[in-house]
Amino acid sequence: MLSGTINGGRSIPLINHSFEEPGTGKINNNWNLIPGWSSDTAPFDSGVEQSEAATDGSWIGFLKDTDPAIWQTTNYTILGNETFKLSFNAQGSSALKAQLYYKPFHNLKIDRI
pTM: 0.77
In the three-class reduction of DSSP (H, G, I as helix; E, B as strand; rest coil), residue 31 is classed as helix
Residue 100: the pLDDT is 76
The ranges assigned to domains in the chain are 2-111
Residue 113: the pLDDT is 41
Q: How confident is the model at residue 75 (pLDDT cuts 50, 70, 90)?
A: confident
- Is the pLDDT at 3 greater than 60, yes or no? yes
Q: For 78-111, how does the pLDDT look when each residue is reduced to its tens digit (9 = 90+)?
A: 777 888 877 777 776 666 777 777 766 555 555 5
Q: What is the DSSP string of 47-109?
A: EEEE-TT-SSSSEEEE--TTSPPEEEEE-PPP-TT--EEEEE---S-SS---EEEEEGGGEEE
Residue 8: the pLDDT is 73
